[in-house]
Each structure stands twice: as C-alpha cells, then as structure tokens.
Amino acid sequence: MKFSRVLLALVLVMAGSGLAASPAAAATEHKVPKHKVTYDKYSLMLDGRRILVQAAEFHYFRLPSPDLWRDILEKEKAAGFNAISLYFDWAFHSPKPGVYDFTGVRDVDRLLRMADEVGLWTIVRPGPYINAETSGGGFPAWLKTVPGRARSSAPGYTAAYREWLAQINPIIAEHQVTRGGSVLLYNVENEYAVNTDAAYMQDLQDLARAAGIDVPITTNLCCDAADWSSTWASGLGAVQIPGVDDYPQSFDCTNAGKVWGPWGTGITERVREDSPVYAAEYQGGAIDLNNAGYDKCRELTGVDYTRYFPKSNLILSGATALSYYMGYGGTNWGWLAQPNDVYTSYDYGAAITEARQLTDKYQEYKRQGYFLRAAAGSLTKTDVTTAPTAEGLNTAARINPDDQTQFVLVRNEGVDQVSSTLNWGGHALPVTLPGHDAKVLVGGYRMGGQHLVTGTSEIMTHETVAGRDIALLYGRDGTAGTTILRYPARPRVTVLDGKVRTSYDPATGDLRLDYTHQGLARVLVSGGGPRPLLLLLGTDATAAQFWRADTAAGPVLVRGTDLLRSATVSRGVAALRADTAAAGPVEVFADARAISVNGSPVATARRTASGSLLGSLPGPRAVHLPALSGWRQHAEAPEAAPGFDDSRWTVAGKDTSLSLFQPVTLPVLFSDEYGFHTGSVWYRGRFTASGGETAVSLNAITGKRGNYLVWLNGQYLGSAAGGVELDSEEPRNPNPGPGRFTVPAGLLEAGKPAVLSVLVQNMGHNDDWTADDNRFRQPRGLVGGLVEGATAPITWRIQGTGRIDPARGGMNNGGLYGERAGWSLPGFDDRAWARAAATVPAGVTWLRTGFRLDLPKGQDTSVALRFDGPPPAGHRVIFYLNGWQLGQYGADIGPQTDFVLPAGLLREDGRNALAMAVIATGPATVSTPRLVVVGSQRGGVPVRTVPAPERL
Ligand code: IPT
C-alpha cells in the first residue's frame, strides 16, 4: 500500500518534470550519505549527537540581490543562529503554467549552497501553500483558473502542485545534510488545520520521499489548538515533527507599548509525544496591519518582548527546535505583496532591518543565541522539575536527567521592578527584575572546565580559548549578581576590573562572587580546577559588544566591531572578517599573537592583563550621494485616446469563471482569466452610442490599496477605489468596488462609435489561509461594467503585462504603456522627453533621471530613496531602479516614505537609472525623491550587479 503510493508519486514526479530521469536524480544515486538525522521526544540528533536548532526566517524572494543573501546569512549566524527557515514561493518562480525559473534572483540552488558555506542548516518550506503575506500566499495567480479546490486532493490542483514540487524537490534533495548539504528539515504546507484533506497532506510527503527527501518532515500549526481540525500527529497525512506558530503580541503595531501578549498563550505546545517540541514560527516582529510604520512593529516586538516571551517559551515548552519569524523581512518588490496585509516594505520590525542594519533586538537575540549554543549539550534533553522560588516572581524549571543541569526561568509578570530572594539549592540569592523581565539561570552546570553551582547572572557564552575558559555572564545594568563556582582546592582569584567581592568556603568548595552589574568586570580564577577561568561580568550593553566565531583552531571571542562575520587563526594571526560603523577598539581572545581585520594587520594590537590582544580599528569613510536632478517627463496613457490601436489586445469574451464571486455584468472581465495577473491592467470597451448615455457604472476588485481610472472617448471621467478582500461571511458581495461616472453632455453622439478606457491597479492576490477557494480565487480587475442609457452591447479588450522580463521575472511589471514600451528600463533613451515640470495631469505620467555613484570600496553602504513629507493623496508613484520595480508610494498604499535600494540592483560604482510612473486621479504636484544613506560600515560582502536586460 505504502510502497505503491510512493511508486505512483515517483512516476508522476517524473512525468511532471518532463524527463525520464533528471540529471540531479541520477547523480544522487552515487552519493554516499553524509549525515544521519534522527530524533526523539527531546531533540533532533545529527549522527546521534543532540542538536538545538535555532533558526531565523528569511525570504530570499524579498531580497533580489543574491550576493546580499550572504550578508543576511552571515548576520544571522553572527547572532548565534545555526539555521535559517526558508519559504519557497511558487508564484515567484512560475509566471505561467509549465514555466519555471530558478536562475539569477531565483537561484535557490545557490541559496542552499550559500547557507552551507556560511555554516547554517536550513528548514525548507516549499508549501505548496506558504501564506507569508506574499501574493496568493505563494500560489501563482494562474492557479485561479485551474479547476479543483486548492489545498485539497482535487485532480486539477494536484497536477498543478506536482508540477511545482517536481521542480523544487530535486533541488532541495541535493542539499540535504544526508548528502552533505544544509537541509535539515522539510516542512509541508502551512498552518493547514482547517478544511483539511489528509490524502493531500500525505501526497506532499510521498512526493518528497519519492524525490529522495530523507530528512524529517515537519509542518507548522497555528496558533490556537482549539482551532485545529487535525494536528497531523497521527493517521493519514501525519508528519514526523509537527510544529506550532506563536505570535503572542499579534499584529497591531499601533498597540506598541500597550499590549503584552494578549493573543494565545504564546507558548509552543507539544503536539506529538515521540518528537521534539518545535516552535516553527515564534513571533520575531509583525506585519504592519494598521499602517503604524515598522518602527512601531519593532517596538511591539522589541527587546522587552524578546527578553520575556522567547525565554519563557524555551523553558515552559521545552522546545529544542525554534525559528523566529522574521529574522530579516526584506522588500515586497514588484508585485510580490499580498496587498490586504502589507505594502512594499516587509521590514517586519525584525531584528535586522530591511536596509540590513542590526538593531537592539538583534543584540538580544545574540545574547540568547550564544547562550543556547553554549548550553545546547545540556539543554537538548530536559524534563520539567520543581523550580526554586522567589517571592513576587514567577519561576519554572527544567532539568537534564543525565547531567542534572538545571535551567530556571525567573519572570516578573508585573510592570514594576521586583527585588526578591531566589532560594535555590540551599543558597539565598538576591535577585532583582525590572517589570516584564525574564532570566534563564543555570545551576549544577559544567561550564567548560568549571563547575557552576548556581547564580543570578545569565550566561551569554563560555568558550575554551588557548587552554583557558572564558565565561561571559550578564545582568541588567545596576542590578545585583551572584555567581557560585565550585573548586576542590582554594583557587587564586584576581579581580582585574570592576568591583567584585569573593569568598571561598573550604567545607563546600564554593567560591562565591557578589557584584553589581556595571560596565564590564573581569575576574581571573586559577589554580582551583583543571583550567584557569577568565570570568567576564557585563551588562546587557557590554555583553552585546562581544562576538564569537568558530575556527579550525577553536573558538575566538571578540569585543568590539559592529559585526564579526567569521574568523580564522593561522600562524599566530587571528584574521577577522568584521564590519565597523565607527572607529573604535577591538579586543580579541584567541590563540594568537597578532590580529588582522578584513585582510589588514592591526598594527596597534597589544597584549592585555586579560590575556587578550587589544588594538584599534578605523571606521567607515564618508559617503557622498549625488542630488537627483535633471528629471525628464513624458505623458502616457495613449490607451485613453479613442483612436488607439487595440486590435492586438486580447478579446475579453468569457462568460464563466471558477471564482465563487459572480461577475456583476457579463462578459467576465477578471484579468486572470485572460492571463494578466500582475499590476496595471487596461480595458477598452467599444460600443455604438445611443446619445442617451447618462453614466458609466463600473466595479473592480484590486485588493486593498488599489484604484481605477476611467476615460470615455479620451475624456477623463474620474477614478474610484478598487474593492478589497471578500468578506468570508459575505463571499458574494455584489458591490465590491463601485464607481459611477456621469457622462458629460454632448460627449457621445448617436450612432457613432464610443470607447471606454479603464486602467485598473491590481495590487496582488489574496491568500488562502482558510483553505477555501473563496478568498484565493477572488478576481482582480473589472468585475462589472455598463453604460447607463446605452442600447448597444460593449465589446471588451484587455491588455496587461507584456513580455516577461527574463531576469526581473513575471512579478516585476504590470501593463502600463511605459512598462510595455521599456520606459522603466535603464537603457531607454529619454533624451527626446521634455524637462520635468512639477505638475502632472490626471492619468499616467513618467519621470526619469540618472545618477552616478562612486561609493567607498570595501564598505557596505545601504542607500534608500526618500520621499519627503507624508505620502500624497491623489497620486501614487511606482518606481523602478535600473528597471527593477522597488516600491510604490502614496497615501492609498501605505505610510512608507523610505524605499531600500539594495546593492546589486543599485550600481555602487557606475550609472543608475531611476524611472517613476505617476498615476494621478487628478492634476497633481509631484515631489521628486532623494537618495539617503541608511547605514554605512567598513566591511560588508562583495556584491556584483545582478545581470538584467538594459532595454527591451
Ligand atoms: C503566520 C504564517 O504562517 C506566516 O506565513 C505569516 O503569514 C505570519 O503568520 C504573519 O506574518 S500565521 C498567522 C495566523 C499568525
């Protein structure tokens, strides 16, 4: 039974790929398995060794510059993450049925290889449905015209997703850890817990197995167990490791500072008894549902939140596989956004900003991430145990049954600071927690060669460097800390820096250190145990100055720089790859005599009393950006003119569609029915006038933020807002985006031909999180059109995106005339265009300019395009940097005024072209944007220009 299903799936995969046996599949047969992935109820294991998976979610499709993928991966790794979680967006790769692209910015093979090079595992999530606020939730819009309920085992849908999986699975399979690559877990579907179809869920897994996927299969459930119709823990469709998504702070960023975990418990539930607890998506930011701006989302899910909820989750759930959504959000460039939830930026208020800058939240992840890494040996196998108590504080604990290490969560649930005493193992430890703070404390722990009895400072990391242990502990600035270590013989204790009281009890062997967390105290302990210890006692801020990296010669610990990307130690030289945002000290703890940074020796380096090397580093050079001037302007929208030749446009004449939404008038004008899925769509309706026409009555669905503009016989009649997402309670809302436009007297003459021209902004497609076709198949474009008083029928033609750009892809461009004519592209010759005026008429106007950059080499400068002042009502701007559509600006779209221009698309050393399509609902004054520096650090990764056509 099982075998035959697998065999069938294999046959179908091969049929779908159009190859008898793909070269990838043939090659793998000769590959020897490299690693084995197993698991039990405590944790995953790699070759029998327990591992703690610490992942951050990353969407390659939201960063269209593959060299910069490495920047993000290195930054995640530097925060202590050992994995990234990756959605693969079907729609991003497939503009048409049967057409798939995995090159350039879509080269996921390169992405998986890169993750491996950087030293990160990957959790791959190829859907087919991914949600993720991406257009269609990852479903290509062409799927709307394929019969059969999506996310079910209906034949039409089945054939479609098998086509996708036949493409993506072999790429993933090649990169599994079992073949020496990065893929550790394979996640099927996404929050698939309502309207479920077990046969479909099973088929996804059978296809994966047939494609050679042999790592454990997971899924992610959300967020409230009460809503689950299946947990996929047993029976048909069961996965090996079901995970849970938790978003304790929800998504209303206007609530920043006002809410504290109102949504669910925020604690990951155990779904299967025989597999580890997996926090598949733990909230690491938020979508900006109510246009508060992403700074507010970062505040909603800021350092306080991150100190409290993830730590609580760790101890209360016992999860040993964790992923934060998002680690880096990125950009909804082109028409990638699912418009009802997001606009161009998908910054997400994440720890790494859209402009790739590190935030305070990043530093909090780093403090926790380093700890998880250091303690993984004990933390990957724990059971609940009785917690020590502290009056006024909430405690919980876990214990490792083998080595007896205890992990104690101490939380202050209130808003006021609490000072109390933690009674732990016969010790009375003073402990102070500010409001809404949490600590994870460790006791009975082998800290390298040291024995940590107990304490109230959190461990950030401990490393063994050159035969000596270095432990970095920390606590909130100004709070008391105690650390108790045990030594068989009285050790020598030297306080190198700061104020630390020490006492040794020969009866117990306990060395007790009491101090107040302030700056960075340094204590040398030697002669008591197998190895000397350098104890570093910091605050949140001074602990965050540290970075760690592994080298073939053991770990190195670095204080200073703004990012340690990697390190090597050879011939006595510790060679760092590091970024600096300002000139400053660098202190290196390594088995080395000298330091180099980014290939340059640090001549100033001297040995310190702590045994480290201390030198100084230069900061970045000043960056000069040119002013944007010399704009040229050209009027567009010839489609509005009656004499425009639309004879090559597609005739819109269908009278049925698969959408549950019924057209308001016939024929069906839904743009997807005619193969136009992306951005602007034009309609031209011809009829013979009666002379008695009074009004044009239209209706359009665009998704949130969209609109449409109307002309009759070349005369502009006005605009209306497009309809938004269907209400699931009212799926057949007959009047989603109405617009009624009076026909001016004398415009139409009886018996003469008349032309109605309509430009509709389709903002992106609905997702399918309810797994019913209702939402996802909702149309885009006109859904009704009639002329009141007309006697003759209207014949309609439609035009959208022209030829698909081979590099920028099917989601970069819509069907504006200028887009079809190549005006957005860098090589377009605009010399015949007039100098720009500040004003534009209603309709579409293009503006273009060029600028030359010469940014400092060996320096990572993040540049953005800034529009000053609040986004305007009455017009919207779609802009293209070197042909790449990188943003949409306007009051109807969102609060965004800064748009990131990623290096690779931005030519840091050369000429750049900027084009803007202005769509105005009335005469408007357009303010042109300027270039701004968002951040600049010496260092960075090498970035090459992403190749793409210069002209049509
Ligand atoms: C969760 C989705 O799985 C993920 O794709 C994304 O949409 C995220 O939400 C929000 O950004 S599920 C949601 C109901 C919490």
Q: What spacing in Å lies between the alpha carbon of 245 and ligand 1's midpoint?
A: 8
* Ligand 1 center to 268 CA (angstroms): 15
Ligand 1 atom 14: residue of nearest CA:
222
Evaluate whether 500 touches 514 at the Cβ level (below 8 Å).
yes
**Residue of the nearest CA to atom 12 in ligand 1?**
222
249 lines ligand 1 (CB under 6 A): no
List Cα–Cα distances, 99 to 44, 91, 680, 810, 922, in angstroms: 37, 11, 22, 10, 40
Displacement of CA 181 from its chain's centroid (Å): 22
Nearest CA to ligand 1 atom 8: 132
Residue with tokens 């003119």: 641
Query: Is 222 near ligand 1, meaning CB less than 6 Å away?
Result: yes
Using 50, 70 and 90 to split pLDDT, how confident is the model at 726?
low
Structure confidence by residue, pLDDT tens digits, 774-804: 899 999 999 999 999 999 999 999 999 989 9
Query: Which of ligand 1's atoms lies nearest the C-alpha of 137?
Result: 5
Tell me the CA–centroid distance for residue 132 and ligand 1, in Å: 6
Mean pLDDT for the chain overall: 94
Residue 131 Cα to ligand 1 middle (Å):
7
Task: Give yes or no for residue 129 having a pLDDT over 90.
Answer: yes
Q: Whose CA is nearest to atom 9 of ligand 1?
A: 132
What structural domains and CATH numbers belong to the chain?
Answer: 2-358 (3.20.20.80), 382-614 (2.102.20.10), 637-799 (2.60.120.260), 805-938 (2.60.120.260)
Shortest-distance atom of ligand 1 to CA 287: 11
State whether the beta carbon of 193 lies less than 6 angstroms from ligand 1. no
Helix, strand, or coil (residue 511): strand
323 lines ligand 1 (CB under 6 A): no
pLDDT digits (tens, 9 = 90+) for 6-16: 333 333 333 33
Size (the chain), residues:
952
Instruction: Please give the distance, rounded to the nearest whole angstrom, from the Cα atom of residue 301 to the centre of ligand 1.
Output: 15
Q: How close is the Cα of 170 to the center of ligand 1, in Å?
A: 27
Separation in Å, CA 163 to CA 3, 12, 59, 132, 191 = 22, 9, 22, 21, 22
* Ligand 1 pocket test, candidate residues 245, 251, 328, 346, most atoms within 8 A of CB: 245
Ligand 1 lined by 768 (C-beta under 6 Å): no
**pLDDT band at residue 730 under the 50/70/90 scheme:** low
**Residue 934 predicted with pLDDT over 60:** yes
Q: What is the pTM of this model?
A: 0.95
User: Atom 5 of ligand 1 has which residue's CA nearest to it?
Assistant: 132
Q: Which of 87, 247, 343 to mutate to test the pocket of ligand 1 (most atoms within 8 A of CB)?
A: 247
User: What average pLDDT does the segment 206-224 reach?
Assistant: 94
Q: What is the pLDDT of residue 30?
A: 44
Least confident window among 16-20, 471-475, 729-733, 934-938? 16-20
- Inter-residue contact 579 to 597 (CB < 8 Å): no
Instruction: Grade residue 727 by pLDDT with cuts at 50, 70 and 90.
Output: low
Query: What pLDDT sits at residue 228?
Result: 76
Taking the CA of residue 326 as reference, the ligand 1 atom at the shortest distance is: 11
Rounded distance from Cα 242 to ligand 1 centre (Å)? 16
CA 253 to ligand 1 center in whole angstroms: 15
- pLDDT attached to residue 731: 56
pLDDT band at 592 (very low <50, low <70, confident <90, very high): very high
Query: Which two structure tokens, joined as six digits, stand for 754?
Result: 């008349």
Probe ligand 1: pick from 139, 191, 219, max atoms within 8 Å of CB? 191
Which of 189, 222, 224, 345 most suits a substitution to test ligand 1, by most atoms within 8 Å of the C-beta? Answer: 222
What pLDDT is stored for residue 802 in this prediction?
87
Those residues with Cβ within 8 angstroms of residue 816's Cβ, 6 or more apart along the chain or in another chain: 636, 679, 680, 759, 844, 878, 917
Ligand 1 pocket, residue 281 CB under 6 Å:
yes
Instruction: Kindly report, residue by residue over 153-167, the tens digit of the pLDDT.
Output: 999 999 999 999 999
pLDDT band for position 19 (50/70/90)? very low
Percent of the chain with pLDDT over 70: 95
Q: Are 344 and 336 in contact (CB under 8 A)?
A: no
CA of 336 to the centre of ligand 1 (A): 16
**29: pLDDT strictly greater than 50:** no
Write out pLDDT tens, residues 282-337. 999 999 999 999 999 999 999 999 999 999 999 999 999 999 999 999 999 999 99
Residue nearest to atom 10 of ligand 1 (CA): 132
Q: What's the rounded Cα separation, in Å, for the pair 810 and 101?
A: 10
Per-residue model confidence (pLDDT) at position 734: 77
Say if ligand 1 is within 6 A of residue 300 CB.
Answer: no
Taking 80 as the threshold, does the pLDDT of residue 698 lie above it?
yes
How far apart are the CA of 31 and the centre of ligand 1, in A? 37
What φ, ψ does residue 12 adopt, rounded to 5°?
-65, -40
Ligand 1 pocket, 245 CB below 6 A?
yes
Query: Which atom of ligand 1 has the smallest separation from the CA of 191?
Result: 3
**Residues 5, 7, 10, CA angle at the centre, nearest 5°?**
110
Q: What's the rounded mean pLDDT across residues 407-426?
A: 97
Q: What is the mean pLDDT of residues 482-490?
A: 97
Give the number of other CB atoms < 10 A from CB of residue 740: 14
Task: Identify the residue with better confidence: 369 or 659.
Answer: 369
For the stretch 516-532, pLDDT in tens is 999 999 999 999 888 99
Give the model's pLDDT for residue 27.
43
- The answer to whether residue 47 scores a pLDDT higher than 50 is yes
By most ligand atoms within 8 Å of CB, the mutation choice from 325, 343, 347, 770 for ligand 1 is: 325
Q: Which atom of ligand 1 lies closest to the CA of 247?
A: 15
Separation CA 816–CA 820 (nearest Å): 6
In whole angstroms, how far apart are CA 698 and each of 173, 342, 682, 762?
A: 50, 26, 14, 15
Q: Is the pLDDT of residue 237 over 60?
A: yes
133 lines ligand 1 (CB under 6 A): yes
| Cβ of 143 less than 6 Å from ligand 1 | no
Which residue, among 252, 264, 208, has the nearest Cα to 10 in the 3D structure?
A: 208
> Of all protein residues, whose CA lies closest to atom 15 belonging to ligand 1?
247
428-431: long-range contacts, CB 8 A cutoff, minimum separation 24: 429/454, 429/455, 429/456, 429/482, 430/456, 430/480, 430/482, 431/390, 431/393, 431/456, 431/480
Q: Report residue 623 as tokens.
A: 């960056």
pLDDT category of residue 116 using cuts at 50, 70 and 90: very high
**In this structure, what is the dihedral angle of CA atoms 944, 946, 947, 948, given to the nearest 10 degrees?**
-150
Report which protein residue has its CA nearest ligand 1's atom 7: 132
Ligand 1: distance of its center to the CA of 190 in Å?
9
Residue in 478, 400, 395, 399 with CA at minimum distance from that of residue 438: 395
CB 287 near ligand 1, within 6 Å: yes
Q: From ligand 1's centre to the CA of 713, what distance in Å? A: 46
pLDDT of residue 1: 28
Q: Cβ(836) to ligand 1 under 6 A?
A: no
Task: Tell how far the Cα of 191 is from the centroid of ligand 1, in angstroms.
Answer: 8
Output the pLDDT for position 831: 96
Q: What's the CA-to-centroid distance between 196 and ligand 1, angstroms?
A: 18
Binning pLDDT at 50, 70 and 90, where does residue 4 land? very low
Between the CA of 587 and the centroid of ligand 1 the distance, in Å, is 41
Q: Which atom of ligand 1 is nearest to the CA of 130?
A: 5
The protein residue whose alpha carbon is closest to atom 6 in ligand 1 is: 132
